[in-house]
Amino acid sequence: MGEFFKRIRGFFAHTDAVLAIGVMGLIVLLIVPLPPFLLDALLCLSIVFSVMALLLTLYVENALEFSSFPSLLLFLTLFRLGLNVASTRMILTRAEGGDIISTFGNFVTQGNLIVGLILFALLTIINFVVVTKGSGRIAEVAARFTLEALPGKQLAIDGELSGGFLSQDEAKKAREKVTEEAEFYGAMDGASKFVRGDAIAGLVITFVNIFGGFLVGMTVKGLSWQNCVSTFTRLTVGDGLVSQIPALLISVAAGIMVTRASSGSLSRTLTKQVFHHPKVLFMAGMTVLVLSFVPGMPFLVMLPISAAFLLASYAQGKRKGEPQKQEKRTTVHSLLVHPLEVELGYEVVQLADPLFQRLTEIKKHVAAHLGVSVPKVQISDNPDLSGTAWQIRVRGNLVASGRGAELRSLEKALIQVIEQHAHVLLTRQDVAQMIQDVKRHDSVVVEELIGKKLNVGQIVRVLQNLLKEGVPIRDFVSILEILADHAKGDASDLEELSEAVRHGLSRGISEEFFGKTHIAHVIRIDPKVEQILNVSKGIVRPATIDKLARSLLTFSEQATSRGLRPVVVTDTVTRAKLKKLIEKQLPELSVLSYKEVASDVELNEIGTVSNEVLI
């Protein structure tokens, strides 16, 4: 037996050969007559595969997990039509159709041919008019909208890549996913036409079986018209039911696939959304209860149904409104503020575990990028959030929110929040640990700097100044060396020290902002504007600041729309002053000095802020 199963596994390991044999088998069904037992086996497989396809559409987390569904739908449709041809041949030539067809013709219809014809007609109408037509229309619209949105999605991915929010591998995977999504809905649009054609073919084959059987029975087999009607109609009805039930299952599966509006298990999503609101459950239960008292209504049937809905309403209301849990949660939040917290709505609670498993990789990514350690991330559910809403807090303050059950979107938002608020998350304890790590390998610089020229708190402020503008602090030893060279004890100006560190890290800053392309898309400042900013000592008219910010915003938006990452480049003296003036209006716009741009970087000017902002 072990050797037998081993050979079976070896056979199915060659999937290409198996698929080719299967397709050739479909052609054989159309030509070669089948014995009854083989027809029964194939009909059984048709039903099983249809049930499996329907169940898979219910349990997959998102449509792309079952991207082979359009091809499977085509194969199952052709398989079923091939069986229709084989069963028709057997019915017309032998006046029999195997055990499954006979059973459906006798047991399901209870021996009443008129009932069987009506059941077959109803199944066909439901499949053809309702399910197939509706799912076909949805597939057509979904395919059109997906294809129209494709350029915008590709441009957004390019923008995230140029902005540094995605790596090359992540951008490649994102593009592949967008392409797969477009291909999937396009394939579903075409596959839905096969389902519709299958329903029409089922009707035609049924009429062919009935009238063809009547003619063959009377002219070839010499049967009476009563025997012809009884035999061939019974077998035809059985054959029609055997083929229409799998066809209906496949049509429903296709409808489910094209109507999915969110990721996550469909059964779990439906349960949470339909049975989440206690007021709706209460009104539904009361409606059934009132109707149960109407004369003639089945009171003993409707009363338990009403009770079930009312109990569900009570349980759901109790779960959402327990004052002790709310009070406990409020107390915990008042006593403890987490540095970094992700709060999930009731429909996306299932993201907690996979996000927790991804935290190690997220922390490694941030540490490799910025050189800082990420504090513990608190992941919790928030009953106040509705639907698929989620939000991220930094030290208790809401900094990001969104909707959707896609882990990648939440993960990307978390990374972006950490990198944008790294200066807030950095603590004295973190820096003290970093200093201790350096001391093991380079004790001289630590002994010269700490306690003699700067304390830990001052170093923290310099590092926070760097992180606030997106400058990595990976080369911590070099930062300490620069601080040791420029610090003057208590008289040290931390802003000047921050600028000195930036100049010392110019090669790394240039690599961070311009990457391997060595092309900088820069916005320049008119020399007269720079001169005014330098002599103003930080006092600039609000009107001038507003004009300056609007001019920079215009150039920045033009560059971003082209998928570019704009930076403002100015002289060394002006850089810090300009950044302070615009950081409230344009917090994400980077400002660099010419000394921070490596000599091998090509400056591509995308605009110049003219002296008109001074008027």
- Complete DSSP assignment for 485-545: HH--GGG--HHHHHHHHHHHTHHHHHHHHHTTTTEEEEEEE-HHHHHHHHHTTT---HHHH
Phi, psi of 399 (to 5 degrees): -120, -15
* CATH number, domain containing residue 389: 3.40.30.60
Does residue 541 lie within any of the structural domains? Answer: yes
Mean of per-residue pLDDT scores for the chain = 80
* 59 and 34 within one domain: yes
Instruction: Annotate 184-200 with three-state secondary structure.
Output: HHHHHHHHHHHHHHHHH
The arrangement of strands across the sheet holding 519-525 comes to 590-593, 566-570, 519-525, 602-609
Cβ contacts of 150 within 8 Å, gap of 6 or more: 178, 179, 182
Does residue 361 lie within any of the structural domains? Answer: yes
pLDDT tens across 383-398, in order?
888 778 899 999 889 9
* 226 and 127 within one domain: yes
Closest CA to 535 of 507, 566, 492, 574: 574
Instruction: Please name every residue paired with 248 in a beta bridge, in sequence order, or none if there are none.
Output: none
Closest CA to 228 of 91, 114, 365, 86: 91
Phi, psi of 375 (to 5 degrees): -70, 175
Q: How confident is the model at residue 271 (pLDDT cuts 50, 70, 90)?
A: low
For range 7-31, the mean pLDDT: 68
Cβ contacts of 258 within 8 Å, gap of 6 or more: 135, 138, 139, 142, 185, 188, 192
Q: How confident is the model at residue 264 (pLDDT cuts 50, 70, 90)?
A: low
pLDDT tens across 115-141, in order?
777 777 777 777 767 676 776 676 776
Stated length of the chain: 615
584: which DSSP letter?
T
pLDDT tens across 48-102, in order?
888 888 888 877 777 777 778 888 888 888 888 888 888 888 877 777 777 888 7
Cite the DSSP H helix spans in 322-442: 323-335, 352-370, 407-420, 422-425, 428-441
* 600 and 528 within one domain: yes
Does residue 559 lie within any of the structural domains? Answer: yes
Q: What is the pLDDT of residue 166?
A: 60
Q: What is the pLDDT of residue 282?
A: 86
* 211 and 78 within one domain: yes
Does residue 141 lie within any of the structural domains? Answer: no
* 440 and 500 within one domain: yes
* CATH number, domain containing residue 534: 3.40.50.12790
First to last CA, the chain: 92
* 123 and 243 within one domain: yes
The most distant pair of C-alpha atoms in the chain lies apart, rounded to whole Å, by: 118
**In the predicted model, is pLDDT for residue 334 greater than 90?**
no
Cα dihedral value 596, 598, 599, 600, nearest 10: -160
Task: Out of 218, 236, 260, pick the residue that ends a domain.
Answer: 260
* 400 and 305 within one domain: no
Query: How many percent of the chain have pLDDT more than 70?
Result: 82
Question: pTM (2 decimals)?
Answer: 0.51
**In the predicted model, is pLDDT for residue 273 greater than 70?**
no
Ranges 81-95, 98-112, 132-146, 424-438, most confident: 424-438
Burial class (CB in 10 A: 0-12, 13-18, 19+), 103: middle
> Which range, of 256-270, 345-359, 474-488, 595-609, averages the lowest pLDDT?
256-270
Phi, psi of 593 (to 5 degrees): -95, 160
* Better pLDDT: 14 or 348: 348
62: which DSSP letter?
S
Q: What is the pLDDT of residue 327?
A: 43
Q: What is the pLDDT of residue 13?
A: 56
Q: How confident is the model at residue 601 (pLDDT cuts 50, 70, 90)?
A: confident
Separation of CA 102 from chain center = 47
* 590 and 485 within one domain: no
DSSP states of 223-253: --HHHHHHHHHHHHHHHHHHHHHHHHHHHHH
Q: How confident is the model at residue 523 (pLDDT cuts 50, 70, 90)?
A: very high
> Which range, of 199-208, 323-332, 465-474, 573-582, averages the lowest pLDDT?
323-332
Ranges 18-22, 74-78, 456-460, 489-493, most confident: 456-460
Q: How confident is the model at residue 165 (pLDDT cuts 50, 70, 90)?
A: low
* 120 and 235 within one domain: yes
Does residue 181 lie within any of the structural domains? Answer: no
Name the token pair of 514: 């311009």
For range 359-363, the mean pLDDT: 88
Cα dihedral value 344, 346, 351, 353, nearest 10: 90
Closest CA to 128 of 248, 275, 272, 231: 248
Phi, psi of 355 (to 5 degrees): -70, -40
Closest CA to 316 of 282, 289, 286: 282
pLDDT tens across 286-330, in order?
988 888 888 888 888 888 888 988 888 888 777 655 444 444 444
Single-letter code of the amino acid located at 225: W
Domain housing 315: 270-321
Asked if 39 and 97 count as a contact pair (C-beta separation under 8 A), the reply is yes
**In the predicted model, is pLDDT for residue 221 greater than 50?**
yes
d(CA 593, CA 574): 8
Q: How confident is the model at residue 16 (pLDDT cuts 50, 70, 90)?
A: low
Ranges 13-27, 153-167, 504-518, 547-561, most confident: 547-561
Does residue 223 lie within any of the structural domains? Answer: yes
Q: What is the pLDDT of residue 270?
A: 66
* 19 and 128 within one domain: yes
For range 456-477, the mean pLDDT: 92
For range 38-43, the mean pLDDT: 85
Q: What is the pLDDT of residue 331?
A: 40
Query: How many percent of the chain have pLDDT more than 90?
Result: 14
d(CA 288, CA 284): 6
* 72 and 34 within one domain: yes
For range 233-261, the mean pLDDT: 76
Does residue 512 lie within any of the structural domains? Answer: no
Does residue 145 lie within any of the structural domains? Answer: no
Exposure on the CB side of residue 133, measured as CA atoms within 13 A: 8
Burial class (CB in 10 A: 0-12, 13-18, 19+), 91: buried
Task: Out of 380, 412, 444, pick the residue that ends a domain.
Answer: 412
Cα distances from 21 to residues 11, 36, 127, 163, in angstroms, run 11, 21, 30, 50
Task: Out of 412, 435, 467, pick the residue that ends a domain.
Answer: 412
| Sign of the torsion angle spanned by Cα atoms 564, 567, 568, 572 | negative
**In the predicted model, is pLDDT for residue 420 greater than 60?**
yes
* Better pLDDT: 486 or 172: 486
**In the predicted model, is pLDDT for residue 5 greater than 60?**
no
Name the token pair of 528: 């007269």
**In the predicted model, is pLDDT for residue 480 greater than 90?**
yes
* CATH number, domain containing residue 432: 1.10.8.540
* 489 and 453 within one domain: yes
Q: What is the pLDDT of residue 265?
A: 58
Phi, psi of 371 (to 5 degrees): 85, 20
Q: What is the pLDDT of residue 491?
A: 57
Cβ contacts of 507 within 8 Å, gap of 6 or more: 598
Q: How many CB atoms lie within 10 A of CB 17?
A: 11
Cα distances from 168 to residues 157, 158, 471, 515, 521, in angstroms, run 10, 10, 21, 12, 20
- Structural domains of the chain, count: 5
Single-letter code of the amino acid located at 84: N
**In the predicted model, is pLDDT for residue 482 greater than 70?**
yes
Single-letter code of the amino acid located at 406: E
Single-letter code of the amino acid located at 427: T
Q: How many CB atoms lie within 10 A of CB 4?
A: 8
